[in-house]
Chain A
């Protein structure tokens, strides 16, 4: 009989706020240790928290994007445990009345669509960061008090691939909602993974292990693969899984048990007396809902039908909201969705990748790219020249017409001028005529190439082809 894994994720996402959750210290990354601190986030005697409105708004916004219920009443609680990176030795979190409940994340895996159910989203404060030296550890509280939302999934996934699809889709949605930078390198999105194994068909879940604090998707995947195999091994050898917290060691590629203190966690939750409850109105929630962007999945479908582009292209373009926005701006301005998609997929994303640039840094504007597409569509520019113009626009920005003129790339569509080039090419290559008459059709293509060279690429290639065909045939 085979085994089935059950996976649930708790993902901590740093919210995009300027200041911390309960004080006015900066959330900026990479500052000198203990330089973004104050009596509040250091847990000084007498200091008190005051809730950041933006953190509440961004959490609710996330909940709305993820289809959660937003209860009208929500409160904060103290969760007690001692750790050097915890300034107050309790964390302000939400216990039984979080800001968001339920909801789900749509994933597509191997062509199959399904929805991973969410349990809840709550708002809490981050802890500090410790660094380990030889005989002591150092603690930096810059991160302490940074607002995090914890997105808790149901134990609703069964393979590492599903977990990755979930995280990928979740990240995409959060980026769409503009609630977090989701910068994994800066620890903006960290996951705890719960995993258990049971016999296929069993009605009860197995004993779960928790793997803490992974900040890469690949880490989650590797850790899950390892842990599933480990638990199956233990069970097949007749052993038992102990409920415990494990740590993923990315270098050793294995999980190991974290030292568990004799007293299991007793967090002693109770309502935070220093903070008042959050009470939302229907009108407030509706106002926030009205500002939500279209979710990525809906956008993909719409892009296919509205612009007539392939599903694959829609998937690539909608993956990043900013790319999708860029595409739609070009498609609308040019009236040519397919061309817009082709330019962005084949040229722009390639150049961005090569140069390790973000789309937000790009110099070419959607209007310029739409103008370029217009020049090609009207026959004023051939595709080779257009690529040259695009490269120029990508490197320096500017107006496509101006670039075309500056580079003298305007396509020659005047039949007299083209005929002159064609005659020159035929005169210089009499052998080609012979070949053509002997049935070698590529001789015509050779002549087209010669004409393009003589015209420095400016001749309208379609007209050149037709003219050569006609001239060679008429001499017959």
Chain B
């Protein structure tokens, strides 16, 4: 994939990344976060000091494999239960602003 992130001093573009994460950030927030994040990114970049060639990455703290369940149906939640938590709903469906494709 093309490297599309614009490079700031430490390579982080707060506004761009916030948009990837679907969060609107105000100009004030960008102004506050940008130096803080730059500082953190700069600190985190110390990982590059280490030679990690040939080291396997760890994704899980315990080395389990094949944790599987048998195929079988169990009752879940009722429609009333899930609609009780919905910010907006109609006729058993979750409502969202109209999806424009």
Contacts and interface: CB of A to CB of B under 8 A. Distances in A.
Nearest to A141: B94
B83 interface: yes
Interface residues of B, number: 39
A242 to B, nearest CB: 14
A279 B59 CA distance: 15
B71 interface: yes
Interface string A20-63: 00011110000011111111011000000011111110000000
B93 A36 contact: no
B4 A39 contact: no
A51 B69 contact: yes
B71 A56 contact: no
Interface in B22-53: 22
A139 interface: yes
Contact of A140 (B1, B22, B93): B93
Contacts of B7: none
| Binding site secondary structure of chain A | loop
A322 to B, nearest CB: 23
Contacts of B68: 50-53, 56, 278
Given A138-B91, A263-B19, A266-B20, A53 B96 contact: no
Interface residues of A, number: 55
B77 A38 contact: yes
A259 interface: yes
A273 B64 CA distance: 11
A263 B20 contact: yes
Scoring B2, B67, B93, B98 by chain A CB atoms within 10 A of each residue's CB, the highest score goes to B93
A76 to B, nearest CB: 10
A136 B98 contact: yes
A11 to B, nearest CB: 21
A133 B73 CA distance: 32
Contacts of B60: 273, 276
Given A18-B71, A54-B71, A132-B99, A278 B4 contact: no
B96 A18 contact: no
A55 B72 CA distance: 12
Nearest to B2: A264
Interface in B44-97: 59-60, 64-74, 76-79, 82-83, 88, 90-97
Nearest to B86: A34
B67 A50 contact: yes
Interface in A117-175: 130-141
A276 B76 contact: no
B79 A34 contact: yes
Contact of B1 (A18, A75, A131, A266): A266
Given A19-B73, A37-B77, A278-B66, A137 B95 contact: yes
A84 B99 contact: yes
A109 interface: no
Nearest to B88: A136
Nearest to A50: B69
Contact of A278 (B20, B65, B70, B92): B65
Nearest to B96: A84
A340 to B, nearest CB: 36
B72 A139 contact: no
A279 B66 contact: yes
Contacts of B73: 18-19, 24-26
Scoring A19, A52, A275, A276 by chain B CB atoms within 10 A of each residue's CB, the highest score goes to A276
A458 B66 CA distance: 67
A19 B75 CA distance: 11
Given A50-B67, A50-B69, A33 B79 contact: yes
B64 A19 contact: no
A288 interface: no
A82 interface: yes
Given A23-B76, A42-B82, A264-B4, A277 B93 contact: no
Nearest to A277: B65
Contacts of A52: 68-71
A271 interface: yes
B92 A34 contact: yes
A275 B65 CA distance: 9
A17 interface: yes
A258 interface: yes
A306 to B, nearest CB: 36
A163 B65 CA distance: 38
Contact of B72 (A19, A41, A137): A19
A53 B90 contact: no
30 contacts: A19-B72, A24-B69, A24-B76, A26-B73, A33-B92, A34-B82, A34-B93, A35-B79, A37-B77, A41-B76, A42-B77, A51-B68, A53-B70, A54-B71, A82-B22, A84-B99, A130-B96, A132-B99, A136-B88, A137-B96, A138-B94, A140-B92, A141-B94, A258-B101, A263-B20, A271-B59, A276-B60, A276-B67, A278-B66, A278-B68
Interface of B: 1-2, 4, 16, 19-20, 22, 59-60, 64-74, 76-79, 82-83, 88, 90-101
